[in-house]
Structure 1
Amino acid sequence: MLKTKTGILSLLTESDFISGAELAKQLGVSRTAIWKNIQKLKEDGYNIIAVTNKGYKLLETSDRLNETLLRAEIEKSELFETLIYKKTIDSTQNHAFRILDQHDGNIVIVSGHQSQGRGRFKREWLSPEAAGLYMSLVFRPNISNHNMIVFNLFMSLAISETIRETAGLNSGIKWPNDIFINDKKVCGFLTEVISTDNIVDTIVCGVGINIKQSEETQKLGTATAIRDELSEDHFDVNHFIGILFKKIEFYYGKFLSEPFSTIKEHWLEHAVIFNRELKITTVNETFKGKALDITDEGYLVILTDDHNIHKVISADIEI
């Protein structure tokens, strides 16, 4: 049924009006199946009209995330082979690890709600229903452990660029893997790996993006959502998802083939950590200072308040 839904959506997008008979012919299903699937698309939020002697017409795409939209994007992807969609789940990250041995290729796991969403340092990631994009991306890179140091830098740029392009908002990167808008967090991601003999076999990257504000996230005071930052209510989720997967595919390809130095200047344009006082917490210590630079290897260079230079590779940063 999902293939029929994505097929109908594709044909409606390409056409002005198209008849049920023509849809059935091109997709190789019955006209009854066409009608049933169009009703499902309407339930997903797509505004589709039927006009006698003309057929069906798509007036407006859905304004919310749904499986049809996601599957249509994955079908076009040259990077991802499998989509797993769950209306609700404990954690897409947990589920990714549960099903790794069932799939060989790159996978996208998405859920409309997480009951136990998690971020870095075992923090909870609030994942209210229908409020955000909660997904885990599974990659099979076969690279050296050392190369993983810059993975988050490529990924953060893909997400920040997507928000800027699709929403026109001045999003920025808080090293190493948070995206901010107006000094509030709109996205975070968690990267975990499986490696053998210093070779990374699998990357599992959990991503949470707040699309619209919820009561839970609003109470935090430190979080925001894309729609809340817009001056108008309309936000094209379809366009956002399409660009996001294109950006992820583009920057993942660069990550595998090019050093961080090739995108470093562009990354610095998106960074929000420079020229301000920071609190840095590593595994061993906490100190205050200012970020001076980021090295080609991905280390953040910090000048501490007591005038010492630290090179930090893994830390929690508070602005």
Structure 2
Amino acid sequence: MSTKSQVLTLLMKQAPNFISGEEMAQQLSLSRTAIWKAINELKKEGHIISSSRNKGYCYGKSDVLSAEGIRLALKSATPSLSITVLNSSESTMKDAKLAAINGEPDNTLIVADIQEAPIGRFGRPFFSKAGSGIYMSMLLRPNQNFEEMAQYTVIMAVAVTRAMNKLIKVSTEIKWVNDIYINGKKVCGILSEAMSDVESGQISNVIIGMGINFSLKQEEFPKELRKKATSLFPKEEPTITRNELIAEIWNQFYAILNQLPEQHFLEEYRQKSFVLGKTVSFTQTGVEYEGIAVSINDHGELVVQLHDKTEKILSSGEISLSSINPTT
């Protein structure tokens, strides 16, 4: 751990109390000069650190993304994460894929303050702004069969809604497959991809990525998105930090994994779905269909009853809902 990381972790642990430079130097076995240099570097990065000649230093709550801030908010039941925080990324999904190729370990998390070329499902771009969103991807190495892949996307959606509901007390809904909505507007998109081992026929790597509109003001969205998208704090100042939300999302995600094979999360997913009971239009293998979304099965697939009473099973990788309308 670098000197700056050690100093930041200690300041965060001590907050909101002051800690003297001498005590910090003793605890970390560093010189007072090293402490002073690290604190100045942290201030330049945007961390709010107040100082008093008599009391020392105090860390103020600031929304600067940091591996240290995320780790401090992780629960003991959550596995140790290998966390990389980037100022900017073309795409954290691409970063995670490269990490997989380079042999990075299970539970590798990559977080960026902004994505220069963010991509959602089916290669669709989405809006990104520095300091106002959460853009992250997790590398998992599950060694499971392809039939179990769908569970990861469903679990992730439930984990995100649980974290948002717990920390911000918002009412969230899920648009199948994994878009999170608040008050009829999209606040989060989730994307999952698998990499397989040809010889074993198993999934060697799973990458789960997401983009969350955190504190983007409603008027800052492009005009074409203002009626479709929102953020967790579209008007008011955030009551939590991005680090806290990131950590809670993964706390909830691993809590569900630790409870498997129990599948209570599936019922929670169904209850939060605003697609069920609605008329949906979609395209599958080049053919357009319309029907009523009647259920979500145990694989996370959407079951749609067409007008001729036949059913179509829709998996996340092959279709996209083009419209959702109330049934008449």
1:160-309 correspondence runs (5 A) = 160-196=161-197, 197-213=200-216, 215-217=220-222, 219-221=224-226, 222-228=228-234, 232-237=236-241, 238-254=243-259, 257-260=260-263, 262-309=264-311
Provide the rounded CA distance (Å) in 1 between the counterparts of 2:265 and 2:252.
13
State whether structure 2 residue 119 is matched by structure 1 residue 114. no
Deviations 1:115-174 (A, max 9, x none): 221111111133222221111100011111111122211110001111111111111111
Could you tell me whether the CA contact under 8 Å between 2:9 and 2:68 is conserved in 1? no
Deviations 1:227-280 (A, max 9, x none): 11x6x32331143233122112223334xx3154x3222222222212333223
Gaps of 5+ in 2: none
SS of equivalent residue, structure 2 residue 300: coil
Change in CA separation of 1:289 and 1:235 when aligned onto 2, cut-off 3 Å: farther
* Letter of the 1:239 counterpart: E
Deviations 1:63-99 (A, max 9, x none): 3434542465579784353222221121111122223
State whether structure 2 residue 86 is matched by structure 1 residue 86. yes
SS of equivalent residue, structure 2 residue 152: helix
* Letter of the 2:130 counterpart: E
SS of equivalent residue, structure 1 residue 263: helix
SS of equivalent residue, structure 2 residue 233: helix
Count of residue pairs the alignment pairs up: 312
SS of equivalent residue, structure 2 residue 147: helix
SS of equivalent residue, structure 2 residue 19: coil
Provide the rounded CA distance (Å) in 2 between the counterparts of 1:75 and 1:83.
15
Could you tell me whether the CA contact under 8 Å between 2:67 and 2:83 is conserved in 1? no
Could you tell me whether the CA contact under 8 Å between 2:4 and 2:42 is conserved in 1? no
SS of equivalent residue, structure 2 residue 186: strand
Provide the rounded CA distance (Å) in 1 between the counterparts of 2:80 and 2:231.
26
Could you tell me whether the CA contact under 8 Å between 2:158 and 2:265 is conserved in 1? no
* Letter of the 2:65 counterpart: L
Change in CA separation of 1:312 and 1:259 when aligned onto 2, cut-off 3 Å: farther
Shift in Å at residue 210 of structure 1? 0.8
Could you tell me whether the CA contact under 8 Å between 2:65 and 2:85 is conserved in 1? no
Change in CA separation of 1:97 and 1:282 when aligned onto 2, cut-off 3 Å: same
Could you tell me whether the CA contact under 8 Å between 1:110 and 1:135 is conserved in 2? yes
Change in CA separation of 1:148 and 1:220 when aligned onto 2, cut-off 3 Å: same
Shift in Å at residue 195 of structure 1? 1.2
Could you tell me whether the CA contact under 8 Å between 1:89 and 1:114 is conserved in 2? yes
Provide the rounded CA distance (Å) in 2 between the counterparts of 1:75 and 1:34.
28
Provide the rounded CA distance (Å) in 1 between the counterparts of 2:289 and 2:170.
31
So what's the TM-score if we normalise by structure 1?
Answer: 0.87
Provide the rounded CA distance (Å) in 1 between the counterparts of 2:56 and 2:296.
57
1:129-140 correspondence runs (5 A) = 129-140=130-141
Provide the rounded CA distance (Å) in 1 between the counterparts of 2:223 and 2:137.
24
Match of 1:55 in 2: 56
Provide the rounded CA distance (Å) in 1 between the counterparts of 2:153 and 2:108.
18
Match of 1:126 in 2: 127
Could you tell me whether the CA contact under 8 Å between 1:154 and 1:251 is conserved in 2? yes
Deviations 1:267-308 (A, max 9, x none): 222222123332233344332222221122322121234443
Provide the rounded CA distance (Å) in 2 between the counterparts of 1:86 and 1:16.
29
Could you tell me whether the CA contact under 8 Å between 1:92 and 1:206 is conserved in 2? yes
Gaps of 5+ in 1: none
1:30-69 correspondence runs (5 A) = 30-58=31-59, 60-69=60-69
| More divergent stretch after superposition (39-48 vs 202-211) | 39-48
Change in CA separation of 1:9 and 1:113 when aligned onto 2, cut-off 3 Å: same
Provide the rounded CA distance (Å) in 1 between the counterparts of 2:282 and 2:152.
20
Shift in Å at residue 39 of structure 1? 3.0
Provide the rounded CA distance (Å) in 1 between the counterparts of 2:153 and 2:96.
18
Q: Percent identity?
A: 29
Shift in Å at residue 24 of structure 1? 1.3
